[in-house]
Structure 1
């Protein structure tokens, strides 16, 4: 606690308790006629409260001054507010550092496990922890231990202690010149399904925001203290300036593979080729490295398309029933449509499937790569028409669509998961990493690591009740 007042820290007003029997002012006056007034000094009311003399509430020894730092500022002034949306990662609980030994017997000495990931799945020990049984199955130089997950102690949701810890963290950053105190207000946007209905998405409004000349918003998002807080409390923190555009997006642009759908289309295509038998694994490896940013996307895409030469052009129609739409996409698009928001899908995949999916979901714009089909045989030649829809092209398309619709970039939201989405996300007013690769998680404006893309609406300040109304 930073002071003796819990109410002051959380900016909440709790009225004094009413008497058990209250009969109105007339009865109270009659009862007071035979009552002697104590000699205690009574401060008379001296007109309208002012900033110098704010109204005060005294309740059970707690002194609370009613102030209005988050209200509309005076004419000619501007309030710099910061909005922090805390998402509890209920789908990815962290393992405590005090962990038991592996579930299964250790790998025999002298043998190497074919897959460290498979070995880690068979054990209670996370892959980032030191080995406790077999040095052959784990790195000899383990990373430093993560901070102990505090949600194990205080509750697996966004607890009051979590909120207080975040507010305390934010007080470590300097305020703008002339500001003496940091005030806050919070709203619970989403509750979990437990009988107690604990909050799992909470929006905090801080006023004023940390001094920009000391720490920009982009640097604040990447600050080590923010990252450590996220790891300790198992939350994702999305920081945004509290501007008008935050609440009113007009264009939302999506990546397709591993964003709107759960698969990578090019991997599905490679899986249909049985000769050579390792083709699917080779293509999947190139895809994974390209999404991590280890390979240049355009050349990696051309290399993968060459491996698909000989596939019939009907393969795109055959894959339609196989595509698995990400959970929450359909209600999210219904909500955006009701809000009058334009939508687009910019995919590094293939136009026949991208256009079909956009039509199925009601997306306004669809752009992707076109492959060359041999007219005589009706099969893929392994070549690509025109420019690859890579990171540069995605950024250009986002700007073109915004200009065509007359939409300012501050009102554009871009959602993706791979390194080829970073330029597109940087051009938008808000770039959201959806269950993304590590590099994308670090670079994006906001992160959502959950099981429903519908959580995107909480970044705009909608409550769970409003989200249900919009997506019904």
Structure 2
């Protein structure tokens, strides 16, 4: 009986998904199910029995060194009806607060605090307060400067717009700032966005070094996921959450499918479903979407 689906996704820029790799995976998980091609030489689904869970370590070892992600998900209810995604280093390639600080000559100092926070070494609220305090007195025009550096990660548009086109509610949630989430949400097509609010002195057109309270941190991300599930009357397994840092862990653990995207070590240790090589397209393949169904505009 096939109760699980093994999805293999190759990083297209580095490799292709060869027939030998697919055959090896099938042999290791001992499946008789038919391989479904989601994207030629890029992604396949392989139905497999529940015992495939025990084969994952062997499969990962066998494909080690190849730019191929291995995702094992339940066969039922694969297409999620709610997407809740982190922004920095997930939807965008940037850490926007670090970029803002860099334009003020504070890049290394702020980035060091960010790294400790994302690795779970420092309480998020404390780290945010420390970093934002360093911005006190800086001109608000630096926000526009930092925005010019923001780059969407490959597959971000496809992930959000495809899920939206198939009826999912989409929410961007960030420990960063609404100045950036509002623009990224509009660019990608998210239904809503949530983040911290940077306080500004309109008289001097400068940052005060503070954020509005309460701080949006890991507990708030989890609360948003639970609130959206309840308000849209969705079952517990209907949400896809995706993120990379320690502040994403509560929502990743709670979601029906929590995906660690090019994540920090502390996140990879806690979340089994990982995208370590491929783009955000893999989040769609993990739900059984073929590339032919992707929406990018």
TM-score, with structure 1 as normaliser: 0.58
Deviations 1:33-69 (A, max 9, x none): xxxxxxxxxxxxxxxxxxxxxxxxxxxxxxxxxxxxx
2:210 matched to which residue of 1? 383
TM-score, with structure 2 as normaliser: 0.90
1:399 matched to which residue of 2? 226
Aligned partner of residue 87 in structure 2, secondary structure: coil
Choose which of 102, 105, 110 in structure 2 pairs with 1:271.
Answer: 102
Deviations 1:194-235 (A, max 9, x none): xxxxx23121101x3229xxxxx5xx59x5324313315542
What pairs with 1:204-283 in structure 2 (closer than 5 Å)?
A: 204-206=46-48, 208-210=49-51, 220=54, 224-231=57-64, 233-243=66-76, 245-246=77-78, 248-274=79-105, 279-283=106-110
CA contact (8 A) 1:258 1:417 kept: yes
Choose which of 119, 123, 126 in structure 2 pairs with 1:299.
Answer: 126
Following superposition, the deviation at residue 436 of structure 1 comes to: 1.8
CA separation of 1:293 and 1:434: change in aligned 2, threshold 3 A: same
Deviations 1:79-136 (A, max 9, x none): 55110001224545xxxxxxxxxxxxxxxxxxxxxxxxxxxxxxxxxxxxxxxxxxxx
1:471 matched to which residue of 2? 296
Q: Work out which of the two has the higher radius of gyration on C-alpha atoms and give 1 or 2.
A: 1
Choose which of 186, 190, 199 in structure 1 pairs with 2:39.
Answer: 190
From the two aligned structures, give the one with the greater helix fraction. 2
Following superposition, the deviation at residue 302 of structure 1 comes to: 1.0
CA contact (8 A) 1:430 1:445 kept: no
2:6 matched to which residue of 1? 84
Q: Are 2:6 and 1:164 equivalent residues in the alignment?
A: no
Deviations 1:356-391 (A, max 9, x none): 322333211211112332354332222222122221
Whole-Å Cα distance in 1 between the matches of residues 24 and 185 of structure 2?
43
Whole-Å Cα distance in 2 between the matches of residues 270 and 466 of structure 1?
40
Whole-Å Cα distance in 2 between the matches of residues 386 and 332 of structure 1?
31
CA contact (8 A) 2:199 2:212 kept: yes
CA separation of 1:399 and 1:289: change in aligned 2, threshold 3 A: same
Aligned partner of residue 436 in structure 1, secondary structure: coil
Q: Are 2:34 and 1:201 equivalent residues in the alignment?
A: no
CA contact (8 A) 2:11 2:279 kept: no
Whole-Å Cα distance in 2 between the matches of residues 466 and 417 of structure 1?
26
Whole-Å Cα distance in 1 between the matches of residues 255 and 213 of structure 2?
25
Query: For structure 2, which runs of at least 5 residues remain unmatched after alignment?
Result: none
CA contact (8 A) 1:306 1:383 kept: yes
1:135 matched to which residue of 2? none
| RCO higher in structure (CA 8 A, sep ≥6) | 2
Aligned partner of residue 183 in structure 1, secondary structure: coil
Whole-Å Cα distance in 2 between the matches of residues 377 and 166 of structure 1?
61
Following superposition, the deviation at residue 413 of structure 1 comes to: 0.4
Whole-Å Cα distance in 1 between the matches of residues 281 and 73 of structure 2?
19
Deviations 1:301-325 (A, max 9, x none): 1111111111223433443333212
Aligned partner of residue 184 in structure 1, secondary structure: coil
What pairs with 1:274-423 in structure 2 (closer than 5 Å)?
A: 274=105, 279-423=106-250
Deviations 1:215-263 (A, max 9, x none): xx5xx59x532431331554221001111x11x3111111111111111
CA separation of 1:236 and 1:261: change in aligned 2, threshold 3 A: same
Whole-Å Cα distance in 2 between the matches of residues 288 and 295 of structure 1?
9
Deviations 1:394-420 (A, max 9, x none): 111111122122222311101111121
Query: For structure 1, which runs of at least 5 residues remain unmatched after alignment?
Result: 1-78, 93-155, 172-181, 192-198, 212-216
Whole-Å Cα distance in 2 between the matches of residues 169 and 411 of structure 1?
29
Aligned partner of residue 90 in structure 2, secondary structure: coil
Whole-Å Cα distance in 2 between the matches of residues 88 and 294 of structure 1?
32
CA separation of 1:471 and 1:371: change in aligned 2, threshold 3 A: closer
CA separation of 1:454 and 1:293: change in aligned 2, threshold 3 A: same
